[in-house]
């Protein structure tokens, strides 16, 4: 049996930070991490668990979706290049050798690709030069469609951006209105196709239970119809999470009238959404959808 004393030197050196850990040190570590990010690290998509998380911006510039409380307590702001450089250095110092275990950079918070293009490209270059890892980010379909062109996305790809994730939640216009997601579905389709045209992959995030019992069928049918019009293929991914109706959100009262689905009903809707999306995509495009549709739980994330 290998113990810390008999381990080869290079292995002992690699694992020594973990052997030295105790509860107090973990608490101190967590506090230091929170001070770097101004609080807990927000959610990231499942294929991006365990990233190097960097904040080009803090919070969400919209922050008005009725069901969402992700960034409610975080003031929105874009970091200056100088501040961003310091931020990256503090992350590098904090993770130290642990960086070697990370395989990607997630650029947050809610919609960092919307940052002024010149500044954004410099930020992407800074990330690449510090970490030399592929870069991923969220995009909101509310404002980005109007602000960024396909050329802008091509530039982002040339500067290291690999995939962006869009919280579509539903393809049903009335649900999007209830959520106060001020976009129309054709804008969301255009945005995805523009991003795909640039060579960047996309992740589409949907929520089972959106629209409750009253809009159950509309949610499935209209979401499948919208997805079928997106140029999705290999390298893209669709995620479906059960929705959480929080009492302290505006959506909660509306959800009472709509009828909240039970956990089992939400899981059933995930299966129905998956089947309908594949069927509709095949019918609309005359070919199968080649990207995975994966269930996940937006309450979970691993850093």
Compute the least distance from the CB of residue 40 to ligand SF4, in Å.
14
Cβ closest to ligand SF4, residue 24 vs residue 247: 247
Closest CB to ligand SF4 among residues 133, 175 = 175
CA distances (Å), origin 7, targets 1, 2, 11, 14: 10, 6, 6, 11
Q: In the bound complex, what is the minimum distance in angstroms from residue 110's beta carbon to ligand SF4? A: 4
Kindly state the smallest distance separating residue 205's Cβ from ligand SF4, in Å.
9
Which CB sits closer to ligand SF4, 91 or 110?
Answer: 110
Minimum gap (Å) between residue 140 Cβ and ligand SF4? 4
Residue 198 CB-half CA count within 13 A: 26
Least distance from C-beta 53 to ligand SF4, angstroms? 15
Write out the two tokens for 272. 């129905």
Nearer to ligand SF4 by Cβ, of 68 and 133: the residue is 68
**Residue 200 CB partners (closer than 8 Å, separation 6+):** 153, 156, 157, 161, 162, 163, 164
Closest approach of ligand SF4 to the CB of residue 115, in Å = 15
To ligand SF4, the closest distance from the beta carbon of 219 in angstroms equals: 16
Name the β-bridge partners of 106.
Answer: 53, 136
User: Exposed, middle or buried by CB within 10 Å (0-12, 13-18, 19+), for 55?
Assistant: buried
d(CA 223, CA 185): 9
Residue 293 near residue 278, CB atoms below 8 Å: yes
Smallest gap from residue 138 Cβ to ligand SF4 (A): 7
Residue 131 or residue 179: which is nearer to ligand SF4 going by CB?
179
Q: Interface with ligand SF4 by CB under 6 A: which residues?
A: 60, 62-63, 65, 68, 70-71, 110, 140, 167
From CA 248, how far away is CA 204, in angstroms rounded? 26
Cβ nearer to ligand SF4, comparing 71 with 281: 71
Q: How far apart are CA 167 and CA 133, in angstroms?
A: 24
CB closer to ligand SF4, 33 vs 70: 70
Closer Cβ to ligand SF4, 63 or 174, answer by number: 63
């Amino acid at each position: 049996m290998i113990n810390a004393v008999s381990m080869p030197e290079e292995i002992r050196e690699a694992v020594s930070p973990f052997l030295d850990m105790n509860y107090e040190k973990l608490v101190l570590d967590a506090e230091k991490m929170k001070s770097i990010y101004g609080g807990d690290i927000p959610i990231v998509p499942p294929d991006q668990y365990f990233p190097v998380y960097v904040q080009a911006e803090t919070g969400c510039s919209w922050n008005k979706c009725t069901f969402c409380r992700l960034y409610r307590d975080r003031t929105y702001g874009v970091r200056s290049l100088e501040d961003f450089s310091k931020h990256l250095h503090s992350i590098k110092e904090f993770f130290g050798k642990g960086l070697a275990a990370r395989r990607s950079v997630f650029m947050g918070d809610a919609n960092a690709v919307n940052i002024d293009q010149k500044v954004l490209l410099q930020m992407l270059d800074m990330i690449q030069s510090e970490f030399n890892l592929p870069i991923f980010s969220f995009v909101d379909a509310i404002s980005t469609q109007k602000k960024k062109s396909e050329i802008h996305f091509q530039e982002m790809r040339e500067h290291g951006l690999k995939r962006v994730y869009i919280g579509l939640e539903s393809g049903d216009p009335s649900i999007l209105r209830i959520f106060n997601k001020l976009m129309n579905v054709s804008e969301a389709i255009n945005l995805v196709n523009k991003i795909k045209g640039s060579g960047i992959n996309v992740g589409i995030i949907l929520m089972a239970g959106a629209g409750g019992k009253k809009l159950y069928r509309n949610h499935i049918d209209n979401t499948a119809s919208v997805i079928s019009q997106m140029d999705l293929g290999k390298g893209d991914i669709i995620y479906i999470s059960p929705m959480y109706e929080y009492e302290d959100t505006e959506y909660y009262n509306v959800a009472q009238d709509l009828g909240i689905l039970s956990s089992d009903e939400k899981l059933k809707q995930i299966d129905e959404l998956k089947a309908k999306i594949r069927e509709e995509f095949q019918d609309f495009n005359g070919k199968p959808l080649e990207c995975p549709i994966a269930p996940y739980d937006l309450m979970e994330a691993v850093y």
